[in-house]
Amino acid sequence: MASDLTTHDGQPLHKSLAKALRREKLRALVLIAPLLLFVLITFVSPIADMLFRSVENSIVPKTLPGTTRTLQSWDALGEELPGEEVYASLADDMMLAQELKIHTRLGSRLNYDQPGIASVFRKSGRQVKKIDSSAHLDGFIQSNEIWTKPESWANLRKNGLWPGAFPASSTAWSNWVRFMKSDEGDDVDLSEKTPSGLAYSALYFDLQKLSDEQWRQLTDSDNETTRAMFNGLREASAQFPAANYKEQFLDMHDGWGKLDNWRTLHRLSPPIVDSYYWASVDRERTSDGVVHKPENERIYVKLFVRTILMSALITLMCILLGYPIAYLLATLPTRTSNLLMILVLLPFWTSLLVRTSAWKVLLQQQGVINNILVWLGVVGDDGRLALINNMTGTVITMTHILLPFMILPLFSVMKTISPSYVRAAKSMGASDWTSFRRVYFPNTIPGIGAGSILVFILSIGYYITPELVGGTKGVFISNRIAYHISSSLNWGLAAALGSILLVAVLILYWAYDRIVGIDNVKLG
């Protein structure tokens, strides 16, 4: 049996072979390791990071940890503002956020989804310090003096029910600790301090939710301090003065009274959200589900469609212009074809910026082409053609720039087509046109496929040329992505747009594979 074969030293043959191959594989791995590492670090990981940014939303739950939690129980579809508990946790979160000066950043993030909300956060940040949080604190102190002492909180935090039964309190506590550290330095001694009234409010709301069993655990505790803290507190808390956080916030900024603002906050509470993707297709989530944005705000779908259509047009132009050149290159004598090849490659030796700028000179209204047309009398002086800062400009310039990427694969495929094919076809009676259509052309399809994929994918993501010659009508989705990366700083949206572009290309690639077959693509 084959599996029983052994080498001379008695090792099973397949093991011996695997060992020999393993060394080969290891060698290969070592050889590619530097490049692999380079690609992973500089290419794959940034892309993965970028893709993650399109759904990443941790800024909201991290900046407003209490608010996002309490908002979960709010009925976002209803017509009522959140309750006192939510406003209390908002006050607590905002107190820390304005201390850390991160509330404006959060405002900008939310503003992408809810224009106008940024100023609500900005303006509230200044006033949130003045919030009166004494109502519940007074109640606690009246119930038992022990609540004024730091050991009450130390004791609470050692209790077995902390933090599970005290989610708001524990958030408020850690907010307070961070606040104090930021305010007074990392080495501040908190053991002699009790938290602010906001923490007592949080505790108040937590207490409301404790079960009878949990109350019993607290009041019947072995710990004397715990018993002192909680005995009678349940009854007393019912008599606590009412807090008025909601009222204070409404006074601060009427934005806090708008349902839409709260709905946005509610929707964006999770750390992973799909809002950027809906925005990328001109839609948004509202209380009525996903709806189209208003007509005048729709832009991305149009841009995506335009990008794909123009890329297809550019690809088609490249095929039409490149095919005859490639044919000449492949059939002319070597000396002539080498010269022609240099002309084809010439653009590669010139800066992209220079070439694009040259087209600006050529195409503008007072430019060379229009001047010649006027001089020839083809168009009147007042009828100069608009060849730039529109789609025409983008298509002309991009076709020129991407043409070599069509010619080269076409050329290398045509080079392999023996002239005897066409001769054979002609000898069998096919006219020039028929032998081209039935014999030569089918054999060049792999080259057309390769060239089209190259040109289309390059063009769909092109940025600099549409930016320079496209005006407003001739820009691509990539220009919008660049705008969001560098100007509006809405990286999440840029990432979502980029991801959609990537997926669109992959889908087209898949469709191409199904229709033409990727095996039919030859680069030479």
Binding site residues, another protein, CB under 8 A: 418, 420-421, 423-432, 434-435, 438-439, 442-443
Q: Output the smallest distance, CB 432 to another protein, in A.
A: 8
| Closest CB to another protein among residues 294, 429 | 429
Nearest distance, CB of residue 518 and another protein, angstroms = 17
| DSSP codes joined into one string, 142-209 | HH-GGGGSHHHHHHHHHSTTTTTT-HHHHHHHHHHHHHHHHHH-TT---TT----HHHHHHHHHHHHT
DSSP state of 416: T
Q: Is the distance from CB of 242 to CB of 258 less than 8 angstroms? A: no
Residue 223 or 434: which CB sits closer to another protein?
A: 434
Nearer to another protein, 142 or 431 (CB): 431
Of 217, 131, 132, 129, the C-alpha closest to 166 is 217
Q: Shortest gap between Cβ of 426 and another protein (angstroms)? A: 4
Closer to another protein by Cβ: residue 153 or 323: 323
- For 70, the 3-state DSSP assignment is helix
Give the C-alpha separation, 288 to 278, whole Å. 14
Nearer to another protein, 289 or 429 (CB): 429
Give 351 or 420: the residue with its C-beta nearer to another protein.
Answer: 420
What is the rounded distance in angstroms from the CA atom of residue 400 to the CA atom of residue 405?
A: 10
CB of 522 to another protein, least distance (A): 12
Nearer to another protein, 427 or 486 (CB): 427
Nearest CB to another protein, comparing residues 421 and 512: 421
Supply the minimum distance, in Å, between the C-beta of residue 406 and another protein.
Answer: 21
Residues 6+ away with beta carbon under 8 Å from 40: none
Please classify residue 174 by burial: count the beta carbons closer than 10 Å to its beta carbon, then call 0-12 exposed, 13-18 middle and 19+ buried. Answer: middle
Q: Per the structure block, which two tokens stand in for 309?
A: 């259509």
Residues 106/117, Cβ–Cβ less than 8 Å:
no
CB of 436 to another protein, least distance (A): 12
Half-sphere exposure of 384 (CA within 13 A, CB side): 17
DSSP letters spanning 211-278? -HHHHHHHHT-S-HHHHHHHTTHHHHHTTSPPP-HHHHHHHH-GGGG-HHHHHHHHHT-SSB--HHHH
The bridge status of strand 289-292 relative to strand 283-286 is antiparallel
* Residue 339 CB, nearest approach to another protein (Å): 19
Residue type at 486?
S
Residue 416 C-beta: closest distance to another protein, Å? 10
Output the smallest distance, CB 439 to another protein, in A: 6
Residue 10 CB contacts under 8 Å (≥ 6 apart), including other chains:
none
Give CA–CA dist 173/181, Å, rounded. Answer: 12
| Residue with smaller CB distance to another protein, 365 or 416 | 416
